[in-house]
């Protein structure tokens, strides 16, 4: 399960100038694919039911539409992508939302297309979408970088405490990276999604800071997030070059007040208070397709 961590920047480890370094691989050796080399495609899509069009559907179309709706959002169905979760969304922004993950972008988008192609499709209005990829942030340290960070923070090199912490980190490193690239969805009922950017303003340009300073700020941010371990789980996905915002943040919590507490607390970190910009928030409650249909008064018995 992914633990709360700092918001990322670009994938890959930084080069000398603090920019991501992707190695000397030539274009001739790069395979052609719509699937990423590592990680998964991710889409968050939110919908509202058009009550007027729902009322215009025949009884038979509505019954069949509810059946196809349940099938389209069944995470265990024969056509299901690798990860699929649906939320009830309070307020006027949407009635429900889905979060879909798979190595194939076509498998991800197929869920959206099945919803629109079904009998309820004419009564569904997509209200917001966000397209991204899972990634391992450049600020997630290697074992060597983690050891150097401990020394900077006051640990004595090669002391028993230092060795225990480094060995513990090394034992967790592979699982931590896998949790970011191929995440499991936590069994918690409260969820929240929002997009974000790092500022590019005069005097507050994140991308002109040296990597060492960005790394320091993100380490502080990460420590704040980790203090919510066991209460909140966080997944950051990257949308640089893919959508209007640069990253998407998905939070799951054991209780709804924990969502408020983690966002409020992390706003005081300099990386957030000085350099972050936030888009619309979509809060939801994890729900089955049947619960969505019942709650939104769509199902016909």
Residue 46 CB partners (closer than 8 Å, separation 6+): 89, 93, 94, 96, 97, 98, 126, 127, 128, 129, 282
Please tell me the number of Cα atoms within 13 Å of 89 on its side-chain side: 23
In the block, which residue shows the tokens 């893919």? 242
pLDDT for res 16: 45
Task: Specify the CATH architecture of the domain 1-14+37-135+188-301.
Answer: 2-Layer Sandwich (3.30)
The pair of structure tokens assigned to 45 is 């899509």
With the C-alpha atoms ordered 22, 27, 31, 36, is the resulting torsion angle positive or negative?
A: positive
Distance CA 286, CA 292 (A): 10
pLDDT for res 19: 63
Distance CA 237, CA 136 (A): 9
Q: Which of 128, 169, 194, 275 is catalytic?
A: 194
- pLDDT of 64 > 80? The answer is yes
- pLDDT of 201 > 80? The answer is yes
- pLDDT of 162 > 90? The answer is no
- pLDDT of 1 > 50? The answer is no
Mean confidence (pLDDT) of the chain: 90
- Condensed to tens digits (0 to 9), the pLDDT of residues 234-289 reads 999 999 999 999 999 999 999 999 999 999 999 999 999 999 999 999 999 999 99
- pLDDT of 138 > 80? The answer is yes
Question: pTM higher than 0.75, yes or no?
Answer: yes
Lowest mean pLDDT of 25-29, 93-97, 168-172, 293-297, name the range: 25-29
- Read off the pLDDT band of 7 (50, 70, 90): very low
- pLDDT of 219 > 50? The answer is yes
pLDDT for res 10: 44
Q: What is the rounded average pLDDT of the residues 118-138?
A: 96
Percentage with pLDDT > 70 across the chain? 90
DSSP 43: E
Residue 189 CB partners (closer than 8 Å, separation 6+): 285, 286
- Read off the pLDDT band of 148 (50, 70, 90): confident
- Read off the pLDDT band of 25 (50, 70, 90): low
* 67 vs 169, higher pLDDT: 67
In terms of average pLDDT, the best of 3-17, 152-166, 192-206 is 192-206
- Read off the pLDDT band of 14 (50, 70, 90): low
In the block, which residue shows the tokens 């912490």? 165
- pLDDT of 213 > 50? The answer is yes
Q: What is the rounded average pLDDT of the residues 190-201?
A: 97
Establish whether 139 is a catalytic residue. no
């Amino acid at each position: 399960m992914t633990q709360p961590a700092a918001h990322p920047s670009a994938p890959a480890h930084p080069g000398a100038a603090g920019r991501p370094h992707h190695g000397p691989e030539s274009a001739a050796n790069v395979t052609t694919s719509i699937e990423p080399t590592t990680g998964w495609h991710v889409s968050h899509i939110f919908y509202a039911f058009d009550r007027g069009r729902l009322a215009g559907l025949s009884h038979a179309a509505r019954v069949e539409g509810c059946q196809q709706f349940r099938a389209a959002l069944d995470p265990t169905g024969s056509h299901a992508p690798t990860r699929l979760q649906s939320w009830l969304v309070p307020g006027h922004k949407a009635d429900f939302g889905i979060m879909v993950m798979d190595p194939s972008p076509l498998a991800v988008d197929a869920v959206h297309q099945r919803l629109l192609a079904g009998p309820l499709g004419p009564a569904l209005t997509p209200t917001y979408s966000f397209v991204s990829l899972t990634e391992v942030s450049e600020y997630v340290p290697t074992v060597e970088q983690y050891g150097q960070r401990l020394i900077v923070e006051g640990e004595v090199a090669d002391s028993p405490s230092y060795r225990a912490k480094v060995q513990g980190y090394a034992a967790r490193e592979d699982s931590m990276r896998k949790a970011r690239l191929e995440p499991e969805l936590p069994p918690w009922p409260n969820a929240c999604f929002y997009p974000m950017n790092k500022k590019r303003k005069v005097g507050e340009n994140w991308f002109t800071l040296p990597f060492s300073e960005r790394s320091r700020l993100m380490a502080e941010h990460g420590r704040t997030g980790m203090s919510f371990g066991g209460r909140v789980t966080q997944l950051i996905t990257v949308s640089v070059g893919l959508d209007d915002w640069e990253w998407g943040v998905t939070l799951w919590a054991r209780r709804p007040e924990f969502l408020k507490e983690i966002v409020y607390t992390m706003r005081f970190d300099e990386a957030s208070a000085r350099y972050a910009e936030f888009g619309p928030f979509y809060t939801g409650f994890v729900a089955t397709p049947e619960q969505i249909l019942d709650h939104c008064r769509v199902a016909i018995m």
